[in-house]
């Protein structure tokens, strides 16, 4: 069991390294968008369209398909070998193409209705632009869905670096297209860049999978295949459950369409910055957890121990990031976005949204790992319960606070939703397994609390003793932020190491490659 958590941490560290380039390039991409388009209704229209296409992709491909495919594929690979796993993967590819084409066609036809649903505050030219963008972006669903399937295959094979770095290739393609064709096409260049980036992301992973000996191509579906039946039986319940989880961006878009112009844009910019720690650490850990938990799902004792250790490691890793994101949000937004059309209002609004989002970063981390554990157990009702509860909390808080907090209320709704979802998911798994998880014991919490308090004190002292260089170059600003990060990590790392937290033993063993 110690070997399992070491393997998870090792894989997550590999993914973190691979994802780092992608997230940095993603920030560069958003910086370019901010400089060219600012926080305007035109960009709001594109973001609404992108949300619709991305929503369908997250729901069907990276959502329900990943939740059903990876556990079944991992068990088939472990128990029946590569030949059987290849057969299952190719059938899943066929199934995905059929479903994906249907959803793409349906989405294009229903684009006007979908835009009216997600952005009822839009009218006239902005609504027409959002519909046009939506029609162009829906093929992105099929492209990126195929990429998600290949990623699931590679993760199950223990290959995490290439799937993590593939989005970096996508971002490079996106940036190049926008820089070269912005003057010719204006904001219409964004859908073109998104589609081209998606194609490149799929190709990189497919080529790597083929090099590993897993050549994926469509094949005839065997309706008598038991594993495929299991995937199809779980697919619809997971779609229903995950559909609730994908309502969060819709809530923000719908309510944001009634607020001041640019509200949707600033929430998107804040979310993009938040995606850096989420992608580097949270998603990396949860992606590594799913195949491992799937293989031991029949052994409750081992399953619970791996799940508990994964949660604790996630909490240990994300706590300092959450604290520093709240404290340094104005400086981070200023450094990354403050230029061109991105004005003072956009800077202040994005900074406030980022700080509030960051309050829920721990909840997002724990919810991600918990949902992966629920998928590994094959409990669609549990996933539905957790995701639906987060939507209810998000809606109630957003609706009740947006009148006096504006876009800040929408960010608060998301933060509270995922925090409550984490507690509910952990409680549900404890009941489902019949085991006491004993995740957060008093001694462990006290050590982390001490480390967090000292981190806050040192971070605030850094801001006051060495003021942020507002009037200087981007390089000077970036160096200031790097200094803040190095100080924070050093303080937190030293105190937790001094307190002899077990998580350091796991990290050291993983780096050394010890079992």
Query: Is residue 268 included in any domain, yes or no?
Result: yes
Report angle CA 243, 157, 307 to the nearest 5 degrees. Answer: 60
**For position 77, what pLDDT does the model report?**
80
**For position 495, what pLDDT does the model report?**
94
Cα–Cα distance, 23 to 59 (Å, whole number): 22
Q: How many domains does the chain have?
A: 2
**For position 240, what pLDDT does the model report?**
61
Please tell me whether residues 155 and 214 are part of one structural domain: yes
Which are the contacts of 356, defined by CB distance < 8 A and separation ≥ 6? 408, 411, 412, 415
Which of 440, 465, 483 represents a domain boundary (last residue)?
Answer: 440
Which are the contacts of 338, defined by CB distance < 8 A and separation ≥ 6? 347
pLDDT beneath 70, residues of the chain: 1-12, 14, 18, 53-67, 234-246, 283-284, 286-292, 294-298, 512-515
Please tell me whether residues 245 and 143 are part of one structural domain: yes
Query: Is residue 451 included in any domain, yes or no?
Result: no
Identify the sign of the CA torsion 104, 237, 68, 1.
positive
Query: Is residue 103 included in any domain, yes or no?
Result: yes
Could you give the C-alpha distances from 94 to 139, 209, 304, in angstroms and in order?
A: 17, 17, 35
Query: Is residue 351 included in any domain, yes or no?
Result: yes
Which of 440, 463, 497 represents a domain boundary (last residue)?
Answer: 440
Number of H helices, E strands in the chain: 22, 0
Please tell me whether residues 368 and 395 are part of one structural domain: yes
Query: Is residue 493 included in any domain, yes or no?
Result: no
What is the distance of C-alpha 63 from the center of its chain?
11
DSSP one-letter code for 282: I
Please tell me whether residues 293 and 436 are part of one structural domain: yes
Phi, psi of 386 (to 5 degrees): -65, -50
**For position 464, what pLDDT does the model report?**
93
Please tell me whether residues 380 and 401 are part of one structural domain: yes
Exposed / middle / buried, residue 128 (Cβ in 10 Å: 0-12, 13-18, 19+): middle
Please tell me whether residues 137 and 245 are part of one structural domain: yes
Task: Quote the domain boundaries for residue 61.
Answer: 41-257
pTM: 0.71
Please tell me whether residues 242 and 276 are part of one structural domain: no
**For position 174, what pLDDT does the model report?**
93
Which of 257, 285, 308 represents a domain boundary (last residue)?
Answer: 257
Query: Is residue 47 included in any domain, yes or no?
Result: yes
**For position 297, what pLDDT does the model report?**
67
186 φ/ψ sector (left φ>0, alpha ψ -120 to 50, else beta): left
Query: Is residue 228 included in any domain, yes or no?
Result: yes
DSSP secondary structure string, 460-506? HHHHHHS---TTS-HHHHHHHHHHHHHHHHHHHHHHHHHTT-HHHHH
Please tell me whether residues 74 and 203 are part of one structural domain: yes
Please tell me whether residues 67 and 198 are part of one structural domain: yes
Please tell me whether residues 161 and 266 are part of one structural domain: no
DSSP one-letter code for 59: H
Spatial CA neighbour of 291 closest among 78, 105, 104: 78
Please tell me whether residues 359 and 436 are part of one structural domain: yes
Please tell me whether residues 176 and 301 are part of one structural domain: no
Could you give the C-alpha distances from 154 to 85, 150, 215, 412, in angstroms and in order?
A: 12, 6, 11, 36
Query: Is residue 77 included in any domain, yes or no?
Result: yes
When computed from its CA atoms, the radius of gyration of the chain, rounded to whole angstroms, is 22
């Amino acid at each position: 069991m110690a070997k399992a958590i070491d393997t998870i941490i090792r894989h997550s560290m590999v993914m973190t390294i691979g994802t780092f380039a992608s997230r940095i390039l993603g920030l560069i991409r958003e910086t370019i968008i901010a400089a060219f388009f600012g926080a305007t209704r035109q960009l709001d229209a594109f973001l609404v369209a992108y949300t619709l296409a991305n929503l369908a992709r997250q729901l069907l491909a990276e959502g329900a398909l990943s939740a059903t495919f990876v556990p079944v594929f991992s068990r088939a690979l472990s128990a029946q070998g590569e030949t059987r796993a290849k057969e299952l993967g190719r059938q899943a590819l066929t199934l995905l193409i059929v479903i994906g084409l249907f959803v793409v066609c349906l989405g294009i036809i229903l684009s006007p209705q979908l835009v009216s649903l997600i952005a009822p505050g839009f009218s006239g030219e902005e609504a027409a632009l959002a519909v046009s963008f939506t029609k162009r972006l829906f093929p992105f669903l099929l492209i990126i869905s195929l990429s998600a399937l290949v990623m699931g295959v590679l993760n199950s094979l223990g290959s995490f670096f290439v799937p993590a770095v593939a989005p970096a290739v996508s971002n490079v393609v996106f940036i190049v297209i926008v820089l070269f064709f912005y003057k010719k096409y204006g904001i219409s260049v964004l859908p073109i860049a998104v589609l081209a980036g998606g194609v490149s992301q799929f190709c990189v992973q497919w080529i790597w999978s083929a090099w590993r000996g897993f050549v994926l191509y469509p094949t005839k579906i065997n309706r008598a295949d038991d594993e495929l039946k299991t995937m199809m039986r779980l697919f619809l319940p997971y779609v229903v459950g995950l559909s609730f989880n994908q309502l969060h961006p819709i809530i923000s878009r719908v309510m944001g369409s009634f607020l001041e112009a640019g509200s949707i844009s600033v929430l998107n910019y804040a979310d993009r910055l938040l995606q850096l720690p989420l992608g580097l650490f949270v998603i990396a850990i949860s992606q590594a957890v799913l195949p491992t938990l799937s293989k031991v799902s029949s052994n409750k004792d081992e399953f619970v121990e791996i799940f508990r250790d994964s949660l604790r490691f996630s909490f240990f890793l994300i706590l300092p990031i959450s604290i520093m994101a709240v404290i340094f949000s104005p400086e981070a937004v200023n450094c990354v976005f403050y230029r061109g059309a991105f004005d003072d209002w956009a800077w202040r609004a994005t900074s406030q949204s980022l700080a509030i989002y960051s309050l829920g970063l721990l909840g997002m981390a724990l919810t991600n790992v918990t949902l992966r554990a629920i998928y590994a157990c094959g409990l669609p009702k549990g996933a539905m319960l957790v995701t639906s509860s987060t939507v209810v909390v998000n809606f109630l808080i957003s609706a009740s606070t947006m009148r006096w907090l504006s876009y800040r209320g929408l960010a608060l709704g998301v933060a509270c939703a995922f925090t409550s979802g984490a507690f509910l998911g952990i409680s549900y798994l404890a009941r489902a397994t019949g085991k006491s998880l004993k995740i957060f014991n008093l001694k462990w919490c006290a050590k982390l609390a001490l480390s967090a308090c000292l981190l806050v004190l040192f971070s605030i002292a850094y801001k006051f003793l060495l003021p942020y260089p507002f009037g200087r170059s981007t390089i000077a600003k970036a160096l200031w932020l790097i200094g803040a990060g190095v100080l924070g990590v050093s303080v937190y790392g030293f105190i937790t190491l001094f307190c002899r937290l077990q998580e350091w033993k796991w990290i050291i063993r993983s780096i050394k490659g010890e079992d």
